[in-house]
Amino acid sequence: MKKIDGGICAVDGVLAWGLRKEKYGVTVISSPESNVSAVFPSNKVLAAPIIITKKAISNGRISAIVANSGNANCFTGEEGFQNGLKMAQMVSENLQIKLEDVAVASTGVIGRQLSMSIIKQLIDEALIMVENSRDASKKAAEAIMTTDTFSKEFVVQTKLNDGNIVKIGGIAKGSGMIAPNMGTMLCFLVTDVKASPKQLEVALKKAVDKSFNMVVVDGDESTNDMVLIMANGKSGEIDENFQEALEYVCIELAKMIAKDGEGATKFLEVDVNGALSIEDAKCAAKAIVGSSLVKTALFGADPNWGRIVAAVGYSGAMMDENSISITMESEGTGADIVKKGVVKAYAGTNELKIAEEIFSKKEIKITVDIGLGDYTATAYGCDLSYDYVKINSEYTT
């Protein structure tokens, strides 16, 4: 498996484009007659595009995606639903595909109607420009950004057991309103693997559980999340090599979302080892990256290990404070903070000095060994800064 260039258009048969006007953006992705699977949010308030796309993929096939940024088209009633259908209809008519073969996605402000005059103009222009090129993928990734500070793309290729080379590419957006069970994020994945909708469903769920469901920026769950994969079947048969590559792509995109958290200045990766179950490992890791107290300590370069222990304690995971160990590391430097329940980083110790230096870095890894079992999990997050409050206090104004 290796990372390659080209974005989603590195996959044969995929066309894309994206463009922006004022606060709105539109992305169109075409992968004709592809098998499909998707993961959606658990929020009881679901945006119109989520409802439309759930129906569109119910037969396991789509040919295109149209997505807009700048407006979530959520809590917008029948008018919002019809506007979502109009977006799909424009794409279906232009690409000469069935209306039900178009998935729709939106991201942005909740509770406001789409400015359809701008959206229609952007869709028309994007459909004229769609092509298979490196620039097309870049434009598509940029157009779905909201408070993101950089576009997110990743693509790999790997060799399957049948000897074929398969490619998997993805673009994503996400910066705030990010919590486990996904967040205000969109991710569109394309591949040339041969796989049934059911096989894609199984593969995608495994990948999402290890990646997007392990990211916490602020703990708020969205109404518009979507991770969707399209497989056009131009290469070999799905196998464990594909699964490994898909998980790798999703994890890398998830890390980009964590690094780009609204107002974030630091990236945090948390490994939890020695748990009694995978559920314990996951909930402990997510509790740490999701803790506002851990996040603010990270922002202030204060290696407050007590907050980490407390997060594990309330996470629901089985633990024994006499067995837990905590290490911190960054850029090849590490420090043992707690060793099997014994604190090593009291005031005046060399361990505390090193830990303070580690917490001043841009990327920090915390490893927690619960010391009770053999299960492990990794979660991703960021610090909580003054700018997070500023960005979200001015979001609709």
State the catalytic residues: 184
Residues 6+ apart with CB under 8 A from 236: 160, 161, 162, 163, 164, 165, 166, 193, 194
Distance between CA atoms of residues 342 and 350, nearest Å: 15
Q: Which of 169, 170, 168, 173 is nearest to 150 (CA)?
A: 173
Q: Return phi, psi of residue 72, to 5°.
A: -80, -15
Distance between CA atoms of residues 381 and 174, nearest Å: 12
CB 165 within 8 A of CB 191: no
CB 49 within 8 A of CB 38: no
The two tokens of residue 49 are: 């595009």
Contacts of 86-95 with CB under 8 Å at 24 or more apart are 86/116, 86/120, 87/49, 87/119, 87/123, 88/52, 88/56, 90/66, 90/120, 90/123, 90/124, 90/127, 91/28, 91/64, 91/66, 91/123, 91/127, 92/64, 94/127, 95/30, 95/32, 95/63, 95/64, 95/127
CB 285 within 8 A of CB 319: no
